[in-house]
């Protein structure tokens, strides 16, 4: 396994993270290595989720750490969403910035796992937000596009 570089320069974010990712047609050893490396990178970063485009790979692959395990999603799609919640959001590719974003409170995603098996995962609160945020990355959308407003550092401190 290897730590991957997370794209975070403004030029690279606007260029690389604005492209739509391609579906994974076949789960190859390369995709398995990508999942392993993304998981290691996510854990080292202290983040909750990571999408392949954030490490320079335009494939529909996401990893999300739910606090107990890392959920691997290949070709994820949201199949249901309920409720609404506005909360603070940030991104590993846009360090030092935070925004208020409205997202569904509960989200169910369908994807394939590393063995090619169809799986569904339901998340509430932070995990639902993370599923939406990471799937947005696969479509070239950043949380800043959806933010009702960006927060100043002193506002963030007041909310903690």
Model pLDDT for residues 18-42, shown as the tens digit of each residue:
999 999 999 999 999 999 999 999 9
Query: For a pLDDT cut of 90, what percent of the chain falls above it?
Result: 88
pLDDT above 90 (res 13):
no
The pLDDT, as a whole number, for residue 1 is 78
pLDDT band at 135 (very low <50, low <70, confident <90, very high): very high
Single out the catalytic residue among 134, 154, 155, 160. Answer: 134
The pLDDT, as a whole number, for residue 158 is 65
Q: If you search the block for the tokens 């949201």, which residue do you land on?
A: 78
Q: Is 134 an annotated catalytic residue?
A: yes
pLDDT band at 160 (very low <50, low <70, confident <90, very high): low
Compute the distance between CA of residue 142 and CA of residue 26 in angstroms, rounded to an integer: 27
Q: Which domains does the chain have, with CATH numbers?
A: 9-159 (3.90.45.10)
Compute the distance between CA of residue 108 and CA of residue 37 in angstroms, rounded to an integer: 25
Phi, psi of 122 (to 5 degrees): -115, 135
pLDDT band at 159 (very low <50, low <70, confident <90, very high): low
Compute the distance between CA of residue 131 and CA of residue 64 in angstroms, rounded to an integer: 7
> pLDDT digits over 62-103, tens only?
999 999 999 999 999 999 999 999 999 999 999 999 999 999
């Amino acid at each position: 396994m290897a730590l991957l570089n997370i794209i975070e320069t403004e030029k690279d974010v606007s260029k690389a993270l604005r492209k739509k990712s391609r579906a994974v047609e076949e789960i190859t050893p390369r995709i398995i290595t990508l999942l392993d490396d993304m998981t290691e990178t996510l854990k080292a970063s202290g983040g909750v989720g990571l999408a392949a485009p954030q490490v320079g790979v335009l494939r529909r692959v996401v990893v999300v750490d739910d606090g107990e395990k890392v959920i691997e999603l290949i070709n994820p799609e949201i199949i249901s969403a309920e409720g609404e919640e506005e909360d603070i959001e940030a991104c590993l590719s846009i360090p030092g910035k935070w925004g208020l974003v409205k997202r569904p409170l509960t989200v169910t995603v369908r994807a394939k796992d590393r063995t090619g098996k169809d799986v569904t995962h339901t998340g509430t609160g932070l995990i639902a937000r993370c599923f939406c945020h990471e799937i947005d990355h696969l479509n070239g959308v950043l949380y800043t596009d959806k933010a009702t407003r960006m927060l100043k550092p002193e506002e963030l401190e007041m909310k903690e």
